[in-house]
Amino acid sequence: MPATIVSKFGGSSVADAVQIDKVRAIVERNPGRRNIVVSAPGKDDVHREKITDHLFNIATGGDHFRDARKMITTDQSREAVIGKFQKVMADLGVEDASLLQDLKKDLDRGEKIRDVRKKTAFYASRGERYNAILISRYFTAKGMRARACLPEEFGFILGGDPADAKVQIESHENIRRIQDVAFINILPGFYGVTSEGEVAVLSRGGSDLTAGEVAYAIQAERYENWTDRDGVFEADPRLIPDCQVIPRLTFKEIRLLSSTGFNVFHFDAMISCKKSQIPINIRNTNRPEEKGTVILNERVPEEGIVGIAMLDNMAYVYLEKDLLGETIGFTAQLLQIFQEYNINTYFYPTDKDDIAVLVNQEDLVGRINNLRREIEKRLKPDYMNVIYNQAVITPVGLGLKGDSFTLMKAISILGEHKIPIEMIDQSPSQICFHIGLQQAVAEEAVKILHSNLLKRK
């Protein structure tokens, strides 16, 4: 029997009939692919919004799109959801009136749920649920022994906030119970049920997490994450078209890259795989012949830098106060204030008498005045300022450990090109460093660093 592979297909991979047939061919090509986790259908040429966004719109009475300044009513979202499944079914040749009937009943049933968080979770889960059912029936029609394995039936148990739930340990045993070599399991990602049987969802992007938990539960040979990209690139390919896919990364490296602008997949999905040393292979559904990027617990570093990430639209709050660095608890109190205002902090380089806290600029909208007032009241800084329109560039690579020359070279090269640097901070792990600069010069800086530090000859 071939080693078991868990394969997760994202929204772009299951967006329409053409994409779903590509998924079928990929699954059929390797008999080890026995557990297939699918997202809700993504955008296509007809449906310009994701199905999950339409479902959120229904759950929020139209506020979801209204907040994004899109005039799409709940009735229009309902029509879009039903229309999407109707079209995909027709294009695949799947005739199943009961699937659409059940979907319509669920869209009606959700209106009776009074708890806002539970209502949101219920609606948000319907895209994955019905896509898994549809894909399993298409596979079956094509002669593949497939079955939909729904969380409410086998027991993918979640706990906590129903709209941002956490996987419970009993889910792993329940996943192991549904393993049967005679069948290909098609599992919907993103949602599960509470111990009371109510629908709950993981955080957005949670289909990655579902697949990671399945891989961990069955101790899979590998976890394949199929997307519309060839893998993890050295830099943003929209900025540097000739940059290459990174063949191998460690979990530490991908963590650093993802926290500084590489939006690859849900980080929590990596934790269980890392624990059991299960490799994660990021691949392209549209180019299955490409090997993609493999994420491992350990690799032999063959280079200094493997990738350059960029966080844009940043700002930093700068404080000065005499003896700040010698005041026990000052930094903890400052970060506590940011937490109270629900503002995520990225870095906070500090010195004897000053500190800078980097945040996403958008997180300050509507909060900055109250945040300033609270900091003034509780910490009484001698001086405080907010510097907007910043970016942070982060070169990452295992080979940087113990190598101070690459950091010095990066600073020198940027100086030669008249790129002003606002801030420099080296990671304690020594496998990355952060360069803060103005947003206006950030893209040019990435191109310069890629060309001089990373471009393969």
Q: Write out pLDDT tens, residues 391-402.
A: 999 999 998 988
In the structure, what pLDDT confidence band is assigned to residue 456 with cuts at 50, 70 and 90? low
Closest CA to 422 of 445, 405, 400: 445
- Cβ neighbours of 200 (radius 10 Å): 27
Neighbouring C-beta atoms of residue 441, cutoff 10 Å? 17
CA distance 99 to 85: 9
CATH code for the domain defined by 307-454 = 3.30.2130.10
Q: Does residue 339 have a pLDDT over 70? A: yes
- Residue 262 predicted with pLDDT over 70: no
Domain boundaries, the chain: 5-228, 307-454
* Range with lowest mean pLDDT among 61-65, 148-152, 351-355: 351-355
**Matching fold, domains 5-228 and 307-454:** no
Query: Between 427 and 152, where is the model more confident?
Result: 152
Looking at the chain, the whole-number percentage of residues with pLDDT higher than 70 is: 97
Q: What is the chain's alpha carbon radius of gyration, rounded to the nearest angstrom? A: 24
What pLDDT does residue 255 have?
83
The kind and range of the H/E element at 39 are none
Topology annotation, domain 5-228: Carbamate kinase (3.40.1160)
Question: Could you give the percent of the chain with pLDDT greater than 90?
Answer: 79
pLDDT of res. 455:
65
106-145 tens-digit pLDDT: 999 999 999 999 999 999 999 999 999 999 999 999 999 9
How high does pLDDT run on average in the chain? 92
Parallel, antiparallel, or unpaired for β 280-284 and 248-250? unpaired
pLDDT at 349: 84
Choose among 300, 293, 292, 357: nearest CA to 324.
357
Contact 193, 199 (CB under 8 A): yes
In this prediction, residue 186 has a pLDDT band, given cuts at 50, 70 and 90, of very high
